[in-house]
Amino acid sequence: MAKIAKNKLKNFVEELLASVDVKINDDRPWGIKVHDERLYQRVATAGNLGLGEAYMDGWWDCDRIDELIYRILQGNLAEKVRHGVSIELALYTLLHLNPAGDKVKAFEIAEKHYDVGNDLFKAMLDKRMVYTCGYFREATTLNEAQEAKLDLVCRKIGLKPGMKVLDIGGGWGSFAKFAAEKYQAQVVNITVSKEQVALADELCKGLTVENRLQDYRDVNEKFDAIVSLGMFEHVGPRYYKDYFAVVERCLKDDGLFLLHTIGRNSTKGQPDPWIGKYIFPNSALPSAHLITGAIEGKFIMEDWHNFSADYDKTLMAWYDNFERHWSELKNKYSERFHRMWRYYLLSCAGGFRSRNIQLWQIVLSKKGVPGGYHSVR
């Protein structure tokens, strides 16, 4: 009886995957090569979480995980795995009601992700160490795309020499360094990562940049402009109004705020439980509805720019860098970490490729730009 049940379960999973043109032990790049038959039970009962954990444990392999995840998301397979969906919905509820964005939890994301090791991020990122989506409109390399993105941000906020800018969650100071070098701006960069502050101080030495280990809620001074690139995903929907209240408090009346964030298509969508457990704890992606609701009465929407396809290119470039430098990193990081990080980068690339998740740059003003805002692309 147990053997019959296992065969039924295997057939069920195989039929699900076949519905999105994914086959077991297929020679095509997105085919799954199964090393442990327990994979079927794990996927059927734990959905995306089980699939990711099984990969970390070496139960299966795939030449192109990005293409595999792209097909799974395009086919909306999670909705067909009832138990997996119940787990995802439970995690979604926890993200909304519990620690995402709590001040006492604010530094946990740094400890578990951003403080993993500057050597890892130096190997993976571009020369300016920008850990957000590049802008490939006219760029052909990762370095060019990140320079283009940083310049795009500066132009969108109308940056001029001498302006004082706050960068909320500015990481290793990539934007701060660029804005100080290219636009002669004064930049305050805040982050909750000790490792990022240490390296940012080194990289921004001699420039008009101040790097602080500080939670955004503790900032209480005025700035000509404010930017936040890839940090809003860690705020949590429960704290969106508090977040925008801080921005409103710190932004001069004639200043602009640029929010650069990953977003999801539906407010009711479920976050990926594997990403939440292993990569970005206490985090949640915003929807357009949640953002507009949180800014109502505080800001005027001046511009909303979606260039999500560029995140697919960015992640694949990060993956290529990571794999190329793995021989230098493997003495510090385990093979399980190698598989985890590979799955992270490639599954996210597949997510953006499927247009299941988005990348937005939003420009806000407090009272409206006189004569209207002219969109920059």
CA distances from 345 to 7, 241, 278 (A): 32, 31, 12
pLDDT of residue 87: 34
Entry pTM: 0.90
Average per-residue pLDDT in the chain? 90
DSSP for residue 318: H
Is pLDDT of 199 > 80?
yes
Closest CA to 333 of 124, 20, 48: 124
Mean pLDDT of 344-371: 96
CA distances from 276 to 49, 89, 198, 273, 330 (A): 9, 13, 26, 5, 24
What distance in Å separates the CA atoms of residue 243 and residue 166, rounded to the nearest whole number?
14
Mean pLDDT of 273-297: 93
pLDDT of residue 80: 59
pLDDT of residue 110: 57
Is pLDDT of 194 > 70?
yes
CATH number of 105-308+355-365: 3.40.50.150
Is pLDDT of 299 > 70?
yes
Read off the tokens for 165: 């800018």
Contacts of 11 (CB under 8 A, 6+ apart): none
What distance in Å separates the CA atoms of residue 108 and residue 294, rounded to the nearest whole number?
24
pLDDT (tens digit per residue) in 62-114: 999 999 999 998 888 766 554 443 333 333 333 333 445 666 555 665 566 66
Which amino acid type is present at position 42? R
Q: Are 227 and 330 in contact (CB under 8 A)?
A: no
pLDDT of residue 45: 83
b/e map of 256-272 (b: 16 or more CB within 10 Å)? Answer: bbbbbbbbbeeeeebbb
pLDDT of residue 111: 62
Q: Are 219 and 246 in contact (CB under 8 A)?
A: yes
Mean pLDDT of 172-183: 98
Question: For residue 9, what pLDDT band results from cuts at 50, 70 and 90?
Answer: confident
Is pLDDT of 155 > 70?
yes
Is pLDDT of 316 > 90?
yes
Which amino acid type is present at position 97? L
Active site residues: 348
DSSP-derived 3-state class of residue 62: coil
DSSP for residue 234: G
Question: For residue 16, what pLDDT band results from cuts at 50, 70 and 90?
Answer: confident
pLDDT (tens digit per residue) in 17-69: 999 999 999 999 999 999 999 999 888 788 889 999 999 999 999 999 999 99
pLDDT of residue 270: 67
pLDDT of residue 84: 41
Bin 317: left if φ > 0, else alpha if -120 < ψ < 50, else beta: alpha
Is pLDDT of 341 > 60?
yes
What distance in Å separates the CA atoms of residue 305 and residue 260, rounded to the nearest whole number?
9
DSSP string across 273-292: HHHHHHTSTT----BHHHHH
Q: Beta strand 186-191 with 209-213: parallel, antiparallel or unpaired?
A: parallel
Is pLDDT of 207 > 90?
yes
Contacts of 320 (CB under 8 A, 6+ apart): none
Question: For residue 221, what pLDDT band results from cuts at 50, 70 and 90?
Answer: very high
pLDDT of residue 83: 41
Whole-number percent of the chain with pLDDT over 70: 88
What distance in Å separates the CA atoms of residue 133 and residue 349, rounded to the nearest whole number?
11
User: Could you state, in order of their start, the residue ranges of all structural domains in the chain?
Assistant: 2-96, 105-308+355-365
